[in-house]
Structure 1
């Protein structure tokens, strides 16, 4: 903060604000706000609106709730005690809110300090609306942005409370509330915490909204405010006298557009809400202060767009200044020869209308550009159209379920749907067909049903599925399985059919060392599934021909092959259960895996030994990774290699230690690249 306040741009903006507070006394401040604050502090009451109206004040003076009054109260009392003009206290409150909003935007946006000072602190919209015209919209916008900040930090109780505070400060902020609810409902990582947001809303409503309703004077001042009727000015008259109000119509369309996105991230949420605010302001004969509502959107857009976008936004701000000064010249101090009437200068009304038209046109162009650059190009927006599908194949006992659960733990069960090939066995275990055929034979499985269900889930539709119980050997009753953002399809034949392979955005084959596979399968089937050791050993001999014929060839179709191998070839013979198993992971990728950066991170961050080989044509890369690593190191490595993927992960991803953590890291790197490729194509 010290660096910011010493920046010449900040000092320039601060000097402009102080000068305007000292030299300009806008009509709303002198006629409404200051007299109301003066009356309410002279006779302190829990119903300042009643005190004002009882003294003969105008109902238009302060149509705001408790929060707005409480925000202006401290500086008003200080000025009163010091004998200073109360307008200075009003201006000081605006400057404090202005500075607070800038700091919040600095925390929310990935923008340089110099750029933020230029596009926000020196913004003509802020300076003209707040310090020339004296409007107080900075306060509710600050509170609404604070609520966004709490949402970003997943502190939803505080987010709900500050959202109510923003509504109390200015009722118009209620148009943001449906976007909050849609975001929390459509972001599955946050949906489970929606109750905290609701608690914050309820607590805020009890503290600041409910008491206001008991003030008949306050409610009357709020709902008789002429500003509320402006949203109904633009309408189409239908036959029979019915009207279609354009502003509510456009707002409802924006709500529907937000609802149609299957999953929203924070960027999408703020962009959709910001566009809705922008369109409401553009299509309404709005007060100049309303344009402050769209400042967070415009600042965020300028921080991420190109030079053309910055020029357009700057042009919009300049047109706003001229339009506001021309259309609201009566608010300014009187100038010799200009009496404030529409006919005071020749053609003033025509010129002001043309400038306002240009401003609205520029604003609509901005809305379209923001939609195209921020919404339609957003990874989440494109992911919402089609789930990301991962195929996992491997022999029996290769660890398909363990691997799938590890990936599911990163994205969260709320965002992942799993489809298991075991659930598509044609017969229960007791059927005699298993005497002549093994599970590894494609003919023993309903692969067409598996493929059809996967295609249906990929299309975003639910399926009727069954579950194979490995303990009883029987299928469960059908149940509904819904699609999700991520679908993991695992099984013995997950890469067997061409149509299955075409469904996957990423295909993985688990090629575990045969001695390890036998060891893990015996541990699982004997200790967890209740089979006898003799039966398990016999199954190895029966299944070997089918494994060689149907399962292992699927590795040639995988984008990523993960091979778990013992450190020493005869490790299982010498350990005799007295020491913990130690492995090395061999990774083979046919589509690149950021092998150079991955190797640097694995060596430098995780302290592992890595050998890398690249095929002659550069098409296949193989990494042999040895050593022990922690879940914390895996998370740190993932942030360095694939920082963008974290936006898709759960609020608290379940990182694994050791080899499984390495599998998570490598797979996330591939998912990140696969997402990029899918968006490019």
Structure 2
């Protein structure tokens, strides 16, 4: 932070601000804010609005809440005690808020000091509105941007309190609250923290809002504020007695578009919030101070966009300055006659900025495009290969709130006790309702809910149909997940578990004997009975998978140990037909996880094979994922559940393919 303050642009901006404070005496300060603060400093009271009005003050002087008053009063009291003009104390208070806002923005844009100082600290909008005209919108914006910062850091109680404080400082900040609520509702990883945000907002709202509501003088100032009526000045008369107010219409449409996003990340949330503020400013005869609301948004947009964005914003800022120069300056520059044209040009450039922001920060956002269609993963493999285990581990990465799981076991045609199982095995497609399985998967992919039964492996019976909602990620696992062409066409990623046959029998014995209560003899007999159907119906599905994961025992002789003994060490073989960032993946697996990795590929690089040996911890695998796929970590749960060993490596390999498939989808 000290590096920011030592930057030459900061010193230049600070000198410019101090010079403006020393030489410019804004009308708003002399007529409204300084007299109000002077009256408050002379007679301290819990109801400063009543004190001011009792002394004959104008009702338009201070239509703000306790937070604005508390932010400006300390320096006003110091100035009163020192015999310094209250107007200077007021300006110093705005300068302090301005510097704090700069610090918060620097935390949100780390390593971009020069850009931030040029775009924010030297912004003509900030300089003119705050120091040339003496308007105090920098205070509520400081609180609102601090709320954004806390939201990004997932400190939701603090974010809620700061939002309430921003509303207390300036009632117009209530426009931001619906966007916060939509974000917390549409980001499923944060839904559970919505009560923390509500508690923080309710507590701060009660502390700052209830005393204000009990002050008749404060409410009188607020309700007599002429700025409130500006919301309805831009309207369209569409018939006798019928009027459409443009700004509320545009704001509500923006809210609706935000609500329609099925899942939202922070960048999309902040972009939509900024776009909402920009439309409010453009579609009302806004006070110059309102333009301060969009400065942080324009800073974020320019930081992420190109040179044209900077030029457009510079033009917009220059037109803002020309449109809001004081009357005496306009008279000296003979610009009064072109002011309407300037305002029209400023609005036009602002609309162009809004359209570019929508295209570049909203419609091209990964989450915005991802929310149009769920990401579907198919996992096939033989009985006991670990299909549901892998599905559950992926569910642990993305969070149960974001995953719908469709298990092929739930589509067996008969309960375990039915005599048909004497002549047919579960591995036969005819023993499973694959048509319903495919129809349900298609419905989930289309965003619709389904009714599905659940097969209880303990009792061998089906449950009553239960409602399963579509979600961001749909995982379809089963013996025949890749059997039908219609199923294969649904998947963004198809996985086949081609486990070593001896190891598969070992795992199936461990599971069915220890977890499901079957006898070892019965399990072995079932394996032998199912072998022909496995060869005929299940194993050929491997050729349809884009990713084949194979576990091989390092010491096959350990597979003969009794049930319940320590699991043998394994190595993971990976075959990919679509590539998986194999060079960087191998480098990270060796360097971060300390594994031994062999890489091979076909002559035309159409199929890549990795052999991975060694033990990796969940912490190492999580670090490898963050190194390889920093963008996709946004799609993971708040605390993703990485696994140790081979299962964790399967998670990482699957995530590599998900990352690649998402990128392809976003390009298309």
Same fold, judged at TM 0.5 (above): yes
Distance in 1 separating the partners of 2:503 and 2:151 = 46
Which residue of structure 2 aligns with residue 608 of structure 1?
Answer: 595
Q: How far, CA to CA, are the matches of 1:429 and 1:229 in structure 2?
A: 71
Which of 539, 550, 555 in structure 2 is aligned with 1:568? Answer: 555
Match of 1:53 in 2: 53
Shift, 1:19, TM fit: 0.6
Contact residue 36 and residue 61 of structure 1 kept, 8 A: yes
Offset at 1:74? 1.3
Is the counterpart of residue 503 in structure 1 residue 486 in structure 2?
no
Gaps of 5+ in 1: none
SS in 2 for 1:564: strand
CA–CA distance in 2 between the matches of 1:446 and 1:416? 23
In the TM superposition, residue 161 of structure 1 has moved relative to its aligned partner by 0.7
Q: How far 1:345 moved relative to its partner?
A: 8.1
Aligned-residue offset at 1:568: 2.5
The equivalent residue for 1:63 is: 63
- Alpha-carbon distance between aligned partners in 1 of 2:561 and 2:65, rounded to the nearest angstrom: 77
Tell me which residue corresponds to 1:72.
Answer: 72
Q: Does 1:361 align with 2:348?
A: yes
**Partner Cα distance (1:200, 1:350) in 2:** 50
Quote the residue 1:489 is aligned against. Answer: 476
In structure 1, what is the Cα distance between the partners aligned to 2:280 and 2:288? 13
Q: How does 1:223-242 map to 2 (within 5 A)?
A: 223-242=223-242
Per-residue deviation, 1:577: 6.3
Could you give the per-residue CA deviations for residues 327-366 of structure 1, whole angstroms, max 9, x where no partner exists?
A: xx24xxx46xx7x6xxx987x5541010110110000011
Task: Give 2:499's aligned residue.
Answer: 512
1:390–1:585: structure 2 CA closer, same or farther, 3 Å change rule? same
How is 1:109-258 mapped onto 2 (pairs within 5 angstroms)?
A: 109=109, 112-258=112-258
| DSSP-derived class of the 2:324 partner | helix
Paired residues of 1:509 and 1:560 also in contact (CA < 8 A): yes
1:9-20 correspondence runs (5 A) = 9-20=9-20
Between the aligned partners of 1:258 and 1:614, the Cα distance in structure 2 is 45
User: Structure 1 stretch 232-241 or stretch 611-620: which is displaced more?
Assistant: 232-241
Q: Are 1:621 and 2:608 an aligned pair?
A: yes
Indicate the SS of the match to 1:490.
strand
Shift in Å, 1:569: 3.1
Within the alignment, does 1:403 sit opposite 2:387 as a pair? no
Distance between the aligned counterparts of 1:482 and 1:226, measured in 2?
A: 48
- 2:610 match: secondary structure: strand
> How well do the aligned residues superpose, as a CA RMSD in angstroms?
1.4
Equivalent residue for 1:630, pick from 617, 641, 644: 617
Q: Structure 2: how far apart are the matches of 1:240 and 1:179?
A: 35
Deviations 1:271-329 (A, max 9, x none): 1111110001001111111001011110110000011111111111111111111xxx2
Alpha-carbon distance between aligned partners in 2 of 1:109 and 1:403, rounded to the nearest angstrom: 38
Counterpart-to-counterpart distance in 2, 1:625 and 1:405 = 22
Residue 200 of structure 1: how far off its partner (Å): 0.8
Deviation at residue 270 of structure 1 after TM alignment: 0.9
Is the CA contact 2:510–2:564 (under 8 Å) kept in the aligned structure 1?
A: no
CA contact (8 A) 2:404 2:475 kept: yes
Structure 2 stretches of 5 or more lacking a match? none
- Aligned length, in residue pairs: 668
1:670 and 2:657 matched:
yes
Q: TM-score, normalised by structure 2?
A: 0.98
Change over 3 Å in CA distance of 1:47–1:599 after alignment to 2 = same
Give the match for residue 528 of structure 2.
541
Which residue of the other structure, out of 390, 393, 401, is the alignment partner of 2:377? 390
Aligned to 1:22: 22
Q: 1:44 to 1:618 in 2, by over 3 A?
A: same
> How far apart are 1:562 and its partner, in Å?
0.9
The CA distance in 2 between the partners of 1:582 and 1:223, in whole Å, is: 74
Q: Retained in 2: the 8 A contact 1:140–1:170?
A: yes
Task: Give the Cα–Cα distance (whole angstroms) in 1 for the partners of residues 391 and 79 of structure 2.
Answer: 65
**What residue in structure 2 maps to residue 423 of structure 1?**
410
Q: Secondary structure at the match of 1:617?
A: coil
* Aligned counterparts of 2:111 and 2:137: Cα–Cα separation in 1: 24
The aligned residue for residue 352 of structure 1 is 339
Task: Report the Cα distance in structure 2 between the residues aligned to 1:151 and 1:461, rounded to whole angstroms.
Answer: 31
**CA distance, structure 2, for counterparts of residue 621 and residue 108 of structure 1:** 40
- CA distance in structure 2 between the partners assigned to 1:673 and 1:107 by the alignment: 30
- 1:442-488 Cα offsets, whole Å, 9 max, x none, are 11111111111101000001011111111111111111110000000
Q: Which moved more, 1:42-51 or 1:198-207?
A: 198-207
Q: Counterpart in 2 of 1:457?
A: 444
* 1:267-346 equivalent positions in 2, closer than 5 A: 267-325=267-325, 329-330=326-327, 334=328
TM-score by length of 1: 0.96
- Match of residue 36 from structure 1: 36
Q: Secondary structure at the match of 1:503?
A: coil
Q: Shift in Å at residue 677 of structure 1?
A: 0.5
Alpha-carbon shift at residue 115 of structure 1 (Å): 0.7
Q: Does 1:93 align with 2:80?
A: no
Question: How many Å apart are 1:192 and its aligned residue?
Answer: 1.2
After superposing the two structures, state which structure 1 stretch, 598-607 or 99-108, moved more.
99-108
Q: Structure 1, residues 483-519: CA drift from partner, whole Å, max 9, x if none?
A: 0000000000101111111100111111111111101
State the match for 2:636 in structure 1.
649
Question: Is the partner of 2:239 in helix, strand or coil?
Answer: coil
Q: Distance in 1 between matches of 2:500 and 2:578?
A: 23
Describe the shift of the 1:214–1:577 C-alpha distance in structure 2 as closer, same or farther (beyond 3 A).
closer
What's the CA shift for 1:571? 3.2
Give per-residue Cα distances to partners, 1:552-597, cap 9 Å, x unaligned: 1111111111111111233323798664421111111111111111
CA contact 2:380–2:482 (8 Å) conserved in 1: yes
Distance of 2:293 and 2:107 partners within structure 1:
18
Distance in structure 2 (CA, Å) of the matches to 1:443 and 1:522: 25
SS at match of 1:555: helix
User: Which piece of structure 1 moves more, 237-246 or 418-427?
Assistant: 237-246
Q: Distance in 2 between matches of 1:612 and 1:581?
A: 24
Q: Give the drift of 1:111.
A: 5.7
